[in-house]
């Protein structure tokens, strides 16, 4: 594999004081169609108890994946869903969504999950919002010796098998999977049909082509034209694979809004302030 860039996750907080690790790129768009990855990982509920009270989005997609614990999602469309271990959720926000994400009261053993932001093409930014989630048992796991690939979104080829995740049709033809490698195990994937490829190492260590060890909490931006050849360290490795096709459009971002021009951002703010994006039905929060 050919590494183009290593992006360390940065500690920050969002929502009502939720501690997260973040990789974001709204300027150079080196991750296009991906814009941001947030990882929440803690066994101390004080790090996430405040959750994410009601807030708006426009012009982007959110993809949430829970590995431990869970959140309850509520939105102005009337969706009320518990997103638990092994489940994913996709919101293509289009012209606007108002939602909240709060820790589940019965998830007391800590939390580990991700929210990934994807850009939307300009032609789709003002379409009606779409929502979809999955059950944990809907996600296939493709396995070979020492490696297990959990399909989260998009279409995949691995270990001689072609399969699709329960969520498809994401912006930029995005394909997302969670790969687990046993200690010192190897795996190879072919993703040259997609123009963008990145890995986020969330657990263990990965051995790089130069022999160095990469620790968890780093994202690798890779050249997708080269085969993805992975080698875990002695602790094994867990990593999210993010692939897709760049959208290639200018991005202007302000808080939860991702549009193409500053004028569109200002309009999004006005629409939200005027209540045009809707609100979560009373009694829902």
Binding site, by residue number, is 55, 57, 99, 101
126 secondary structure, DSSP code: T
**Which element (helix H / strand E) includes 272?**
helix 262-273
- Please check whether residue 116 is in contact with residue 36, taking contact to mean a CB–CB distance below 8 angstroms: yes
Beta-bridge mates of residue 75: 99
Query: Environment class of residue 45 by beta-carbon count within 10 Å: exposed (0-12), middle (13-18) or buried (19+)?
Result: middle
Binding residues for Fe cation: 55, 57, 99, 101
* 3 state SS of 112: strand
- Count H helices, E strands: the chain? 1, 24
Give the residues across from 136 on adjacent strands. none
**DSSP labels for 42-66?**
ES-GGGTTT-EEEEEEBSEEEEEEE
Helix, strand, coil share of the chain (percent; to 5):
10, 55, 40
DSSP code string of 188-200: EE--TTSSEEEEE
CA separation for the pair 239, 208 (Å, rounded):
14
Are residues 181 and 238 in contact, defined by beta-carbon separation less than 8 angstroms?
yes
Q: In the chain, what is the greatest distance between 2 CA atoms, to the nearest angstrom? A: 57
């Amino acid at each position: 594999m050919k590494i183009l860039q290593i992006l360390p996750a940065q500690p920050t907080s969002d929502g009502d004081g939720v501690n997260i690790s973040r990789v974001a790129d709204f300027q150079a768009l080196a991750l296009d169609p991906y814009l941001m990855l947030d990882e929440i990982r803690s066994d101390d509920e004080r790090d996430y108890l405040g959750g994410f009270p009601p807030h708006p989005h426009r012009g982007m997609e959110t993809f949430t994946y829970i590995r431990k614990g869970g959140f309850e999602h509520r939105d102005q469309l009337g969706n009320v869903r518990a997103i638990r271990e092994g489940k994913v959720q996709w919101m293509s926000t289009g012209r606007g969504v108002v939602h909240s994400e709060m820790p589940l009261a019965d998830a007391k053993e800590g939390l580990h999950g991700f929210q990934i932001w994807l850009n939307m093409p300009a032609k789709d930014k003002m379409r009606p919002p779409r929502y979809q989630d999955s059950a944990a048992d809907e996600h296939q796991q493709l396995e070979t010796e020492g490696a297990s690939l959990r399909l989260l979104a998009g279409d995949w080829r691995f270990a001689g098998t072609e399969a699709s995740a329960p969520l498809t049709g994401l912006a930029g033809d995005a394909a997302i999977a969670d790969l687990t490698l046993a200690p010192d195990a190897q795996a190879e994937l072919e993703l040259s049909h997609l123009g963008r490829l990145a890995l986020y190492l969330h657990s263990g260590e990965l051995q790089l082509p130069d022999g160095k060890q990469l620790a968890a909490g780093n994202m690798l931006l890779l050249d997708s034209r080269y085969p993805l050849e992975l080698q875990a360290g002695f602790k094994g490795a867990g990593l999210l694979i993010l692939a897709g096709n760049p959208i290639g459009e200018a991005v202007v971002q302000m808080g939860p809004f991702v549009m193409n021009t500053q004028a569109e951002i200002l309009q999004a703010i006005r629409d939200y302030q005027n209540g045009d994006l809707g609100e979560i039905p009373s009694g829902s929060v």
